[in-house]
Amino acid sequence: MLYPARLARIAMNHPDALAASLCGILVFLGWSALQLSWLGLALLLLPTAYLIGGFGSAREGLTTLLQEQELDVDLLMIVAALGAAFLGLWRREYYLIVDGAVLILIFAISGALEGYAMQRTERSIRSLMSLTTDAARVVVDGQEQLIPIAELRVGDRIRVKPGELIPTDAVILAGETALNEAAITGESLPVEKTIGAEVFAGTLNGYGALLLKVHQSPESSLLQRIIRVVEQAQTEKPKSQQFIERFERGYARVVVLVGLLLALLPPFLWGWSWETTIYRALIFLVVASPCALVAAIMPTLLSGIANGARQGILFKSGAQLELIGKVRAIAFDKTGTLTTGKPQVYKVIPFGEYAAAEVVDLAAALEAYSEHPIGQAIYQHATNVLPITALSVTSVQAEPGQGITGLKGTIPVCVGKATFVQARVPTIPADLLTYTHHLEKDGKTVVWVAEADTVLGLIAIADTIRPDAIAAIAQLKQMGIEAIIMLTGDNQQTANSVAQSIGIDHVYAELLPEKKLQIIQKLQQHYQIVAMVGDGINDAPALAQATVGIAMGVAGSDVALETADIVLMTDRLEKIATAIRLGQRSQAVVIQNLIFALSFILLLMTANFIGNITLPLGVIGHEGSTVLVILSGLRLLRG
């Protein structure tokens, strides 16, 4: 039940949708009243439907006319609807009032859909803003003061505790930690930071307390630049939208001009009576109304959107369903999109007489005390993959960014980077050094495991490729996509290794969000219609700039999901090819419908000019062509 307060909230948040709904209800009730010969009630309900459903279009049409001296389809629709109502009252053919109300209802629904699309920008910006903190802990004369972020100045010193968000871009003065920079770079592995390193607003502090120095104003922080870029990219109108608006206004001018000429010239040129002339002119406005043209597009696209939803593909607008079918280049983010975004044990390399289980067993015993993602990956591998024996270690100590040590009984053991272990083991096998070099060149993270003065072996860690990535890329190439590109904030070696494994030829690595955006812009200059596939906050500017932004629904961040035009609800990359085929099919049906609609409008207008059409026949032809076009668009619900 809709209580007054709830109804008020709906009206405030979705006024266009509410107006379209009320208009539809009133049109149905008015039509029902006419069927029951309740003329008085019908003449009360139908004008109310005109007022509620047509107010927005009338206001926009009159604003465009008065401020820009331009005619648009909104004003034409109002004139045609009022013309139909006038004829209905004049000739006592009251069903024509219903016809005008239906014209208004169609445009009211279109306006509601457009209003929904416009709200996505605000939601995206709100999601980005949630990553920032409201205040920072500033250190003044040894005392901490909590002040708003906006009041921070260059040179201020701020303290950040473990587990807190970094409030603004700054440089570390004291402390060391591992920062989760997934919000900025999209990479899943924490980045070790120490004195002198730069940290970014919106990133999550790890285990260490930090003293930071603000080196630029909060308004210039990387996260704030991302917010501004998303806002700008989403508010800029694409060329296709500008062309459609110009076409609508040109169409309206032609129809109004021809309608005026038809209302004035026939008595002088052909000797028509003024009654016949006005009658023909109003019939022209009705049959030339672009209902069939509108129906040629939206029902088709909505059917395609419903089809995609059944297959786990969420299209946020009909325009993107059309554009995805025309895509010539696709850019992919790496981590979380082409890869799982979670580090896993890639390979265990035991040395000498030791077995793989012994290497993992010892490493897991130490990493059980670690919260580092690499340590957790080793521990999970040990518990879920290999049948290990529980070892007991004591005196465990971690050196951030280096490794972890402990005692197995009285024997020292350690796990960590090569340099960390080499400092504790007198003799390092040359074979293991060579193996480490090859693994790191291939984009893997290598962990050494040692006991006393002996190296037991190596454990290679990697972000694993999604199982469907290789097949999805091959499928896109078979479909004729001209360029497939990978964009990542990861290092060049790792990026090249992943791209080679998947079958991607073009790679851009070590990118910050702004650089990804610039690359998308360059691709658009060459390929025009470019899609971007991503999952992280760092992908938001590129997703917003791309002609079609595609987000991973399960792994994607809130900002990526809000910014993108298409969401893959099941994170299955092969659905991109499905979306492209659906877009191509919808494009073909739209073209067929447009040709049919324009042909029928021309046929009706020609019949009206030569006097072989009556108003009821014109209405039947107009509404009949609209129904046929809608049924044609519903074909996309199949398959």
HSE-up of 395 (CA within 13 Å, CB side)? Answer: 10
Q: Which positions ≥6 away from 320 have C-beta within 8 Å?
A: 548, 565, 566
10 Å CB burial of residue 368 (0-12, 13-18, 19+) is middle
Distances 156 to 132, 146, 150, 364 between C-alpha atoms, Å: 18, 12, 12, 42
Q: Which residues pair with 135 in a beta bridge?
A: 148
The Cβ of residue 489 has, within 10 Å, a number of other Cβ atoms equal to 24
Residue 429 makes CB contacts below 8 A (sequence gap 6+) with 351, 455
Q: Catalytic annotation on 333?
A: yes
DSSP element (H, E) containing 415: strand 411-416
Complete edge-to-edge strand list for the sheet that includes strand 143-148: 143-148, 135-140, 157-160, 210-214, 170-174, 198-199
DSSP 204: B
CA atoms within 13 A on the CB side of 237: 8
Separation CA 22–CA 3 (nearest Å): 16
Place of tokens 């997703």: 543
- Edge-to-edge strands, sheet with 445-451: 339-350, 454-465, 445-451, 411-416, 403-408, 394-399
Cα(270)–Cα(280) distance, integer angstroms: 13
Considering 16, 72, 156, 333, which one is annotated as catalytic? 333
CA atoms of 539 and 555, how far apart (whole Å): 13
Structure tokens at 418: 């090569």
Report which DSSP code applies to 152: -
User: Which residue numbers are catalytic?
Assistant: 333
